[in-house]
Chain A
Amino acid sequence: MAGPDDADSDERETNPVISGHDVVKEYVTGGETVRALRGIDFRVDPGEFVAIVGPSGSGKSTLLNMLGLLDVPTSGLVELNGLDVETFGDAERTRKRKETIGFVFQSFHLIPTLTAVENVEVPRLLDRTPRKTRDAATDLLERVGLGERLDHYPDELSGGQKQRVAIARALVNEPRLLLADEPTGNLDRDTGDQILAEFDEITDEGVAVVTVTHDDYVAQSADRVVNLIDGTVREDEEAVTG
């Protein structure tokens, strides 16, 4: 993630996974227009660990939604692997999400009727490769230390365990970009550390991780910190955490 003055650092060798230029997002509610993003530039490279910090209401989740192709900007250019996302229809965007992006939500959003391993399988259930999917899901759960909890339902898991299931789910499609909205928000420090360690490991494999956080220590372990204030990227290096 880069501020506007980073525009001339484009000569980096690798192509960004996703990049944005002069991205504006406005919400119209009851005749009033809220400018959640006021024209920001960003880029995320493979293997990067980026933390987005900023006060509540500054547009962090909005930005994450742009990165995750869950929403389109009001104006400006967002490019995924060099392709303008504006040109994608809903079906195409959905397909791109499946192919390249993994989500970890703040409140886990596990499906309560499915077991841990089934939850991890969810993004690939429709592929009709049950055996391969089951193997991949089992591997991932073992990797995040939940090999013993495969058949537990979400309400039988602790908060940290649920979040690790959510991370495994985000990784099951082998994404190039992992997006997390306050993944440690509900967790104690130790569990948060486990999750950070997991992110570290993922980035080593070339997956870009972008996480929104309020926690200083999460920001500190990031490669790069983007400080969002009131819909714009603050240039000073001091991170203002909420």
Chain B
Amino acid sequence: MNFLDRLWGAFPAFLMARRNVARAKTRSALAVAVILIGVVAIGAIGAGGVAFQESQFETLGSIGADIQVFAGEDNENGHLTAADVGRIDRVSGQAEIVPLKQANADVIRGGSTAGSATLYGVEEPSALYEVSEGSIPQNWRKGVLVGSTLADRYDLRPGSKVTLRRTVTEDGETVRRTEEYRVTAVLAQAGQADIANPNEAFVLPPGEFDDDVFAQVIVRSDDATTANETAMQIKRTFNGRRQIVAVFERGDIAEQIDEAFRLINLFLVGIGAISLVVAGVSIANVMLMSAIERREEIGVLRAVGYQKLDIVRIMLAEATLLGVVGSLLGGAVTLGIVAVINDVLLGDPFAFPPGSLQYVVVGMVFGVIASLLAGIYPAWTAARERPVEALRG
């Protein structure tokens, strides 16, 4: 007898299970197919959800460790002053702070207004923005940086000129001032939720703005926890009964988004799990049919000395075999599907985000467990049958 025969000889229950599975080919194939679908449902939905989440975070931008400080509703100035910025800087300790000035302007093309845009005034633009074309001058005193959307709209490139008209206060008087700037850099497209999103804005040196007027201060910590502590500290420092500053914590949002994604994913995986329950029912059905069909055969086994538990083992081996085959095929199909999802959402078929493969494994494990559980009742039914009755035919 050859090696394979001996191997099967060591697992007699599986020998019979394998032959039985092979006997009713169509039925076994259908049982394997439902398991496969269940495994794919769990694996692909779970892993796909993780990929989706990952892709959303990519467009949402880096969230979490940044907080924003604005003037509060009880702030008489209506804006933050240089003194406020200094206090925030002291209170924030290690964290890097980026004071931001802000104004609105009209874009003038060929002598008339072509549209409006936001102007940001930042001391160190490189702390907030990435450049896609051109560069930010070392000595940042003049010139303008253009957000990607505006650059496209007005066809601006490094070296182009742009005319902006805005309202400024000069010697206590409000005047309209029109000025021409040279574009030194075009900024990279920023994520939806990025702070001081530059896509529709021009970034100017802070000298171009009123001295003592800051729209917001961005405090960048290392992580969400520190950010949260800093936020508390700032609120304690400025706000007594009156709200002098408003602190906008992005960590909260990040957590909420994260949690929302997790819940949605769990819900979807739950739906996927239902398909495994259906698969389990189908396996149970197949096994019951198998048990009825083999009633006599099982009677013979009992007659020649197989214990009830031996019969249970043989039937469970059969259910497990179906489950294992279904789960392996299902796992392979799932990996294929997830690779496609990864490719579409993340631009790389093999960019499995953390936790993604976990769902595939969970799907496969559940596939086997569902089959095993589904086999228990039919197996016990078959084993309990009295051999005399079974052999009467």
Contact = CB atoms under 8 A, between A and B. Distances in A.
A112 B20 CA distance: 9
Interface in B264-307: 296-297, 299-307
A62 to B, nearest CB: 9
A70 B304 CA distance: 10
Interface in A100-129: 102-103, 105, 107, 109, 111-114, 118, 122-123, 125-126, 128
B1 A112 contact: no
A184 interface: no
B15 A125 contact: yes
B393 to A, nearest CB: 7
Contacts of A123: 304-305
A129 to B, nearest CB: 8
A68 B303 contact: yes
Nearest to B9: A130
A130 B393 contact: no
A182 to B, nearest CB: 13
A102 B6 CA distance: 25
Contact of A111 (B300, B386, B388): B300
Contacts of B158: none
Contact of A90 (B16, B308, B391): B308
A95 B23 CA distance: 29
A112 B23 CA distance: 9
B388 A65 contact: yes
Interface residues of B, number: 31
B391 A109 contact: yes
Interface residues of A, number: 32
Nearest to B302: A94
Given A94-B302, A97-B303, A134-B1, A107 B388 contact: no
A105 B391 contact: yes
A122 to B, nearest CB: 6
A169 B393 contact: no
Contacts of A211: none
Interface in A54-95: 65, 68, 70-71, 90-91, 94-95
A112 B393 CA distance: 16
A163 interface: no
B19 A70 contact: no
A107 B308 CA distance: 23
B16 to A, nearest CB: 7
Contacts of A94: 302, 305-308
Contact of A113 (B5, B22, B300, B307): B22
A105 B299 CA distance: 11
Nearest to A105: B391
A123 B302 CA distance: 9
A141 B10 CA distance: 22
B387 interface: yes
A134 to B, nearest CB: 5
Contacts of A126: 12-13, 306, 310
A131 interface: yes
Contact of A97 (B16, B22, B299, B304): B304
Contacts, number: 81
Contacts of B391: 70, 105, 109
A3 to B, nearest CB: 25
Contact of A109 (B6, B297, B306): B297
A131 B1 CA distance: 8
Given A107-B393, A122-B304, A71 B19 contact: no
B9 A113 contact: no
Given A105-B391, A123-B304, A128-B12, A113 B23 contact: yes
A114 B305 contact: no
Contacts of A95: 305, 307
Contact of B388 (A71, A134, A169): A71
B12 A103 contact: no
Contacts of B22: 113
A98 B304 contact: yes
A173 interface: yes
A133 B6 CA distance: 11
A58 to B, nearest CB: 16
B297 A111 contact: yes
A103 B9 CA distance: 23
B5 A130 contact: yes
B306 A70 contact: no
A105 B388 contact: no
Nearest to B13: A126
Given A70-B303, A97-B304, A103-B304, A113 B20 contact: yes
B6 A131 contact: yes
A118 B297 CA distance: 14
A109 B295 CA distance: 11
Contacts of A112: 23, 297
Contacts of A118: 15
A131 B3 CA distance: 11
Contacts of A97: 303-305
Contact of B16 (A98, A105, A113): A113
Contacts of B19: 113-114
A105 to B, nearest CB: 7
A107 B391 CA distance: 10
Given A99-B305, A109-B296, A109-B299, 4 more contacts: A70-B387, A94-B302, A98-B304, A105-B300
7 closest A-B pairs (Cβ-Cβ)?
A98-B305, A130-B9, A113-B19, A125-B12, A123-B304, A109-B300, A70-B388
Interface of B: 1, 5-6, 9-10, 12-13, 15-16, 19-20, 22-23, 296-297, 299-308, 310, 386-388, 391, 393
